[in-house]
Structure 1
Amino acid sequence: MDDQRNMRATTALLLRSEGYDVLEAAAGEEALGVLSGSGVDLLLTDLKMEPMDGLTLLKRALEVAPRLQIIMMTAFGSIESAVEAMRLGAYDYVTKPFKEGELRYRVERALERARLLSQVGLFADEFNERHGLSALVGSSPAMRELTSRLQRVAQSDATVLVQGESGTGKELVARAVHAHSRRKNKPYVPVNCAAISETLLESELFGHAKGAFTGAVRTRKGLVEEADGGTLFIDEVTETTPAFQSKLLRTLQDGEVRRVGESTAVRVDVRIVAATNRDIELEVREKRFRQDLYYRLNVVTLRVPPLRERLEDVPALAMHFLKRANARSPSPRRLSEAAVEHLKGYSFPGNVRELENLVEQAAALAETEELQPEDFPLRPNARVDAIGSLGAPPLSATPGSRRPTLAEAVEEAERRAIVQALETHGMDLSSVAEELGVSSTTLWRKMKRLNLRSLGPE
């Protein structure tokens, strides 16, 4: 879309030579008519036009086609207006005169984003089916309580805090909340705070302006804006710094996001689902997590029970994982009754993730079609005795001494688990983290907190 005929014709010829279907319009009203009558993915428009300028066309075009990608063409001296256009919903901008390669690159990226957003709509039903309540396998009382509570909260826009040990399936719960909400046809955007370095996390979530820091060669939307209208899942939220927590709190309070390096905020409509495997109340008491942010996140809590608290779900879970493994294998397996009983007698320190890994390993390596107990090597000291207690030695108090608090008991258990894994794998922290079911970043932070730094890298 350009009111200068030569510029419009030249640009259209270039894009057609790349194999794109191109429709031309000489004025804003004509462009809106084209948009309303065809499935256009990308609008390439000049900023300075008459009688309808580019910003007005941008606003009206997004009303006609909310998922439309828009690239603004502007002279160098009008870059501020182009940045304003991006705040209003444009995907990108290009300055005139532009190089052919630069335009091709920006068009390709914009169309790729259009395809991704289209898939969000096309596969919404598939997402809902795959990540709905049917993905939460189990009929134990603990799981029935979880699914009942989940269904009630999903219908609202309340912020949800998902708590549970590593490997229990917290992200499955978050996806189910989205799949059963009124936002289910909008984006679901996950981010793992422990998997992103502290210096990049703010930019990743909130976006950044061009030149905000070294390497920021272009203005970029963050994940919060990408999730606009949908759900943002913030995993391992307690792994963040107080400075980042302050910015996240402001987004929750004001419904606005401010990109790094910009002074103007952008309105967003995002539902937040956060998750942690820590005792977040202890983190608040120890001043490692902001109390005001905790109250903002903890509107509704969904606790995901560890597998040892619902061992009656082990057979159904094992069959679920085996069915998935069989779908990828030319040699289908089946579970013997002895193997099921073998698994039910185990406490699963690594929770559902550990069971999934055990089943996939057995399906891949077993020599017979029917899986036997010997196909499932289990960790020592993690058996369940006849009365249902864990075989691992418990923390105890001598007569007359103070019993350890729950937080102290958890800390001691974490210390023992990390030390044992280090003894097994040496200083291969990747293998240690994998065995413990946490990220390498989380492992290192736990080692620092437990004063185990002398065992790790300096």
Structure 2
Amino acid sequence: MPFFKTARSRRFMPMGENANRSKQRADGRRLSGRSAAMRTLLGRIEKIAPTRASVMIAGESGVGKDIVARRLHDLSARRDGPFVPVNCGAIPPDIADSQLFGHEKGSFTGAIAQREGFFEAARGGTLLLDEIAEMPAPLQVKLLRAIESNVIVRVGGTEPIPLDVRIVSATRHSPAEAVRDGRLREDLFYRLAAFALYVPPLRQRDSDIETIALEFVDALNARHHARKRLTDAAIAALRAYSWPGNVRELHNTIERAYILADDGIDVTLPKPAMPPERLSENTMALPLGATLHHAQQRFIAATLRHFDGNKPRAAKALGISLKTLYNRLALMRDDGRS
């Protein structure tokens, strides 16, 4: 997320859309997925959004924490107010106070005019403090004081300014680890995390990959007035990939492939080296001279072990129907008895 463009953001930042428009964003970036994890997350968002409580969103880079924050805003009573995202890790320390709380004219060298900070820019709306654990420690103290007193004072000013903002924070770190490691003040954590939401990585909800990919292609088609489609091979490749960059990487991959495609969209994915400690659990050795029939049996058995006996997931990974898998397993049992 880029550093904030201007403190007078209400003139430039997108205003709160209604919930329906949020779900139909033209860039395809919306909360998607039919997995149990996503259904749970969406349900919690709908319950939490109408409240005034602060929310902390945790999850790996690229999972869509900013989209969750925007969804909370769009479903809240503040939906018609500004939504102001701030990358805490990108705030220069020497102007951090001014950026967050604003400043008065002449308060420091270069302060040629009065300027609102992020808190005032988000008045009546939602302030997203992204990567909160990257905020400098001195600024965390001042943020805590502002939240506790519910007022801010501009740099160089004396007049208390009442706060009228909902604070949503986000971090790619485990909040508990960030507190333990000293990156996030414990007292600030409790102020910011009246509710905590966790956005699972894409590899933990692989059933959502195809859904997200197809929806993004639909959004691109609408934008470019085209009718391109993912090939079956592309969908299989997307399902098989681990997506270390999560939804952001998936979107970037689809968009690159879409631009280069004439009609059918094929994808090219990197092949990351597997860590040595995982080689033994993710490889299968076959003796030289093994028959194809024997190799297939070993491969099916290894795939089932990998998915802890989950037959639907194993069948999906093998590229066969569940019925075919059961037939193969029956043949394997017959071979074992003969």
With the length of structure 2 as denominator, give the TM-score of the two structures.
Answer: 0.74
CA contact (8 A) 2:37 2:200 kept: yes
Partner residue of 1:209? Answer: 104
CA–CA separation in structure 1 for the residues paired with 2:87 and 2:10: 24
CA contact (8 A) 2:10 2:82 kept: no
1:124–1:226 Cα change, 3 Å? farther
* Cα deviation digits, residues 214-242 of structure 1 (max 9, x gap): 21111111110121121111111111111
CA–CA separation in structure 1 for the residues paired with 2:208 and 2:128: 26
Aligned-pair distance for 1:125?
Answer: 6.6
Q: 1:135 aligns with which of 30, 45, 65?
A: 30
Partner residue of 1:298? Answer: 193
The one-letter amino acid of 2:170's match is A
Partner residue of 1:106? Answer: none
Partner residue of 1:228? Answer: 123
Aligned-pair distance for 1:393?
Answer: 4.2
CA–CA separation in structure 1 for the residues paired with 2:213 and 2:48: 29
Q: 2:272 aligns with which of 378, 381, 386?
A: 381
Residue 369 (1) aligns with residue 260 (2): no
Aligned-pair distance for 1:304?
Answer: 0.6
Partner residue of 2:243? Answer: 348
* Cα deviation digits, residues 134-190 of structure 1 (max 9, x gap): 921101011011001111111111100000000000000000001111111222111
1:114–1:329 Cα change, 3 Å? closer
With the length of structure 1 as denominator, give the TM-score of the two structures.
Answer: 0.55
Aligned-pair distance for 1:114?
Answer: 8.4
Cα RMSD (Å): 2.5
CA–CA separation in structure 2 for the residues paired with 1:114 and 1:246: 26
Radius of gyration: which is bigger? 1
Residue 267 (1) aligns with residue 162 (2): yes
Q: 1:320 aligns with which of 195, 215, 219?
A: 215
Aligned-pair distance for 1:333?
Answer: 1.6
The 10-residue stretch of structure 1 (344-353 or 204-213) with the greater mean CA deviation from structure 2 = 204-213
CA–CA separation in structure 2 for the residues paired with 1:150 and 1:113: 26
Q: How does 1:227-246 map to 2 (within 5 A)?
A: 227-246=122-141
* Cα deviation digits, residues 17-41 of structure 1 (max 9, x gap): xxxxxxxxxxxxxxxxxxxxxxxxx
1:195–1:116 Cα change, 3 Å? closer
Unmatched runs of 5 consecutive residues or more in structure 2: 1-7, 280-338
Q: 2:60 aligns with which of 131, 156, 165?
A: 165
SS in 2 for 1:284: helix
Q: 2:147 aligns with which of 252, 255, 268?
A: 252
Q: How does 1:419-438 map to 2 (within 5 A)?
A: none
SS in 1 for 2:15: helix
State the percentage of identical aligned residues.
Answer: 42
The one-letter amino acid of 1:192's match is N
Relative contact order higher in (CA < 8 Å, ≥ 6 apart): 2
